[in-house]
Amino acid sequence: MKRLLRYLKDYKLESVLGPLFKMLEASFELFVPLVMAQIIDIGIRNRDMSYIMKMGGVLLLLAAVGLTCSLTAQYFAAKAAVGFSTALRNDLFRHINSLSYSEQDAIGTATLITRMTSDVNQVQSGVNLTLRLLLRSPFIVFGAMIMAFTVNARAAMVFAVAIPALSLVVFGIMTVSMPLYKKVQRQLDTVTRATRENLTGVRVVRAFNRQESEMARFEESNGQLVRFQVFVGKISALMNPVTYVIINLAIAAVIWISGKQVDAGIITQGETVALVNYMSQILVELIKLANLIVSISKALACANRISLVFEQETSIKDPSKEDGGQAAASLKDVPKVQFNHVNFAYKNAKADSLSGIDLKVEKGQTIGIIGGTGSGKSTLVNLIPRFYDVREGAVLVDGKDVRQYGLSELRDKIGVVPQKAVLFKGTLRDNMKWGRPDASDEEIYHALDMAQAREFVDEKGKGLELSIEQNGRNLSGGQRQRLTIARALVRNPEILIMDDSASALDFATDAALRKAIQEGTKDMTVFIVSQRATTIRNADQILVLDDGALAGLGTHRELLENCQVYREICLSQLSREEVQ
């Protein structure tokens, strides 16, 4: 939580004024029992209506001033809490975006969503309640005890015994409940993950008729969350009845002790009423304090979870931010891309996903990458824009290790068409300009022509103002893939990576796409990852991967003669005549 308190630095004034006005309100509240005592002992005893009215006016004045102070405190506390959570959420989102794929994979999407939403909201609520009540409640508790001693020291000794007993109950329950709230939030991650999986994979669930089993799985996760919440709720619920028992016993003791003193003429009836009122104030404030501590316990648990995300540092460091990494000019006599004895393993993996990869790619070449499922094709091309870092060896672009580039400088050279076509809510023009905000409409239409997307865009009749729904759900799979290819081409990158990005296209469209890219990219270096032999057979060089190792490298005809793995792939997809 200490790490997160820095987000209140811009709200120092509000963080002081909020509690200050609450303390002022509490001070006025402490005078109310004394005024009531005066009304009873003087006004009612002497049947002095004017005095009663005058003191009643004092009570109304105290109430009005207290209400004003309370509203002012609420305003400043709310302003500080909302500002705190806004800055925290912005920084958390920025930090999550700075993490590499490895850290995001390790933490999990569902957990990150929960911490961005539910956890931040809990912390915001905790900050708000802390500013309003954390000082006010103890102030009234101890203030009421001190005021009680000014009325009658002997009766006030009950307060001195009751308050430590109440504190023991409150802090004891807090100590037990805080770890349990962390457990509740972890289970909430599980429920969020199950929800996200089912909503994103709803078509698969229905296609396999797994609705009942998925509902049962969700019900089990949700039931576990409910059980955790009920258990911790039962512990927290002990606070109110236990505090009520202690306070009511204390009130009975005060009435018994002060009643005897009233009979003896030591104190007045009004002072007895004042003592009972002070004890009632303590009861109300301790109940507030108990509920406050429950909320703070939740907020602290959530704050710790958020801090863990901030403590997670990215494994991919950006040299441009650390030491002002300098841009390197392209060199004529070096390969455009080079893999130099590359070994790579995913985080916590027991074996390498890529091993012993050596490859030189010249400027303007088209490289086809093929291999069985899980052979490391996507992993290989993800090393070029440095989505992951190699374990051993180096990946070089223009003769310079990618780890020496600033991330922006490196990725400005590269256009990526991911394996899963992802589009964003907005217009077609907005999506096309993601890689290059200054792209003209003519350049966008040229890219759509190359990507074989112009025809269906024109058919929809809205041009670049075509509305794209979230994740492109108003488009077919093939249309989404063609638009993601066009988006990468708009950028006019030096290196184009197409990671199995034409799998939803028919063979005619796929062939037209490959021809257009070959004719229209000129000096662009292109990497095409595909499961289809027809897609990569005309590439300048074909890289064949088998279980993370380089099984073959050459042209289509060379590999048919020299690479058993490639020959088997071709024969499994094509006839013998087509293979030749």
**pLDDT tens per residue, the chain (580 residues)?**
667 888 888 898 999 999 999 999 988 988 888 888 888 888 888 888 988 999 999 999 999 999 999 999 999 999 999 999 999 999 999 999 888 888 887 787 878 888 888 889 999 998 998 898 888 888 888 888 888 888 888 888 888 888 788 778 877 877 787 778 778 878 888 888 888 888 878 888 888 888 888 899 889 989 999 998 898 888 877 877 887 888 888 888 888 888 888 888 788 888 888 888 888 888 788 778 777 877 887 788 888 888 888 988 887 877 766 554 444 445 566 889 999 999 998 887 788 899 989 999 998 899 999 988 888 898 999 999 998 889 899 999 998 999 998 888 898 899 998 888 888 989 999 989 987 888 899 999 999 998 888 888 888 888 889 999 888 888 888 888 889 999 999 988 899 998 888 777 788 888 888 888 888 777 889 999 988 888 888 888 999 998 889 989 999 888 888 888 888 888 888 766 666 6
* pTM, entire model: 0.70
Q: What pLDDT is recorded for position 75?
A: 94
In terms of Cβ atoms closer than 10 Å to its own Cβ (0-12, 13-18, 19+), residue 350 is exposed
The DSSP bridge partners found for residue 368 are 528, 542
Sequence letter at residue 115? R
278: left (phi over 0), alpha (psi -120 to 50) or beta: alpha
Q: Identify each DSSP E strand in 63-194 by its residue range.
A: none
Q: What pLDDT is recorded for position 61?
A: 93
Domain edges within the chain: 2-311
Q: What pLDDT is recorded for position 369?
A: 92
Q: Which fold has domain 2-311?
A: ABC transporter transmembrane region fold (1.20.1560)
Q: What pLDDT is recorded for position 65?
A: 93
The sign one gets for the Cα dihedral 437, 439, 444, 445 is positive
Q: Which long-range contacts (CB under 8 A, 24 or more apart) does 180-186 make?
A: 180/228, 180/231, 180/232, 180/235, 181/232, 181/297, 181/298, 181/301, 182/301, 182/304, 182/305, 183/228, 183/232, 184/225, 184/228, 184/229, 184/232, 184/301, 185/114, 185/118, 185/119, 185/301, 185/302, 185/305
Q: What pLDDT is recorded for position 21?
A: 93
Residue 121 CB neighbours (<10 A): 14
Distances 105 to 111, 114, 314 between C-alpha atoms, Å: 11, 15, 12
